[in-house]
Amino acid sequence: MQLEAQLLERSNHQCELCTATTELSLHEVSHSPYRDVEGCIMICSKCNAQIDKKEELDSNHWNCLTAAMWSEVSGIQVISWRMLNRLRNESWAADNLDMLYLDDEKLIWAKKTGDHENDASVDLHRDCNGQILQDGDAVVLIKSLDVKGSTLNAKMGTVVKNIKLVKDNTEQIEGRVEGQLIVILTKYVRKQG
């Protein structure tokens, strides 16, 4: 039986964290020593986006961990510990974190992401108005920009379609202007639509 089918059966076709039944997908728990059902979980798109720091944390959504943290599945225990650590400023999360026990092996695995050392803030790509940008969005330049190393001048009002987010820099995106791929600072764009 393939892994995804095993996880759907184990999860009863629900998110193993919040019990949502739509938009489920297999999630490999990062830094897992397992390459089987112990190191993977079935989760919904909302849980996935927040685990992967592509969306701001919604502490009300994560109240589900009060039940999920008691799972016998290693991957669920590790994700619960990591998310509770991100939310540790919430009293309910701190209380649950105090009750959650991980053996030494699981604790080492859980700590590999550093979630226990950081706050819950999420760095997202945002336009000049604070709107969240995502791969594939269209943006409008709010300022004329000279492109370094080129004679190209990207004019104010130019629409840049199908942008790509620069992975390790939330202040930069990539897009094509007049057929040339350029890097644009997010503070100089406004999300279109």
What is the DSSP secondary structure assignment for residue 98, as one 8-state letter?
A: H
Do 53 and 145 lie in one domain? The reply is no
Is residue 110 within 8 A of residue 102, CB to CB? The reply is yes
Site of tokens 């999300």? 191
Confidence at residue 54, expressed as pLDDT on a 0 to 100 scale: 81
Q: Range of 163's domain?
A: 139-191
Confidence at residue 25, expressed as pLDDT on a 0 to 100 scale: 94
Distance CA 148, CA 99 (A): 55
pLDDT tens for each residue of the chain, 193 residues long: 598 999 999 999 999 999 999 999 999 999 998 888 899 999 999 999 999 888 888 999 999 999 999 999 999 999 999 999 999 889 999 999 999 999 999 999 999 887 777 665 667 788 999 888 888 999 999 999 888 878 888 889 999 999 998 888 889 999 999 888 999 999 999 999 7
DSSP states along 43-82: EEHHHHHHHTTSS---TTGGGGHHHHTT-S-HHHHHHHHH
Distance CA 39, CA 2 (A): 14
Confidence at residue 56, expressed as pLDDT on a 0 to 100 scale: 84
Give the number of other Cβ atoms within 10 Å of residue 187's Cβ.
12
109 backbone dihedrals φ, ψ, rounded to 5°: -60, -45
163 closest CA partner among 144, 181, 143: 181
Number of domains in the chain: 2
Do 12 and 76 lie in one domain? The reply is yes
Do 12 and 103 lie in one domain? The reply is yes
Strand 159-160: give its sheet, edge to edge: 159-160, 139-141, 189-191
Distance CA 120, CA 88 (A): 8
Out of 111, 129, 157, a domain closes at 111
Confidence at residue 22, expressed as pLDDT on a 0 to 100 scale: 94
Do 101 and 165 lie in one domain? The reply is no
Is residue 92, in this structure, part of any structural domain at all? Answer: yes
128 closest CA partner among 158, 163, 171: 171
Out of 111, 128, 148, a domain closes at 111
12: its two tokens: 């009863």
What is the pTM assigned to this prediction? 0.68
Is residue 73 within 8 A of residue 16, CB to CB? The reply is yes
Out of 93, 111, 129, a domain closes at 111
Do 90 and 151 lie in one domain? The reply is no
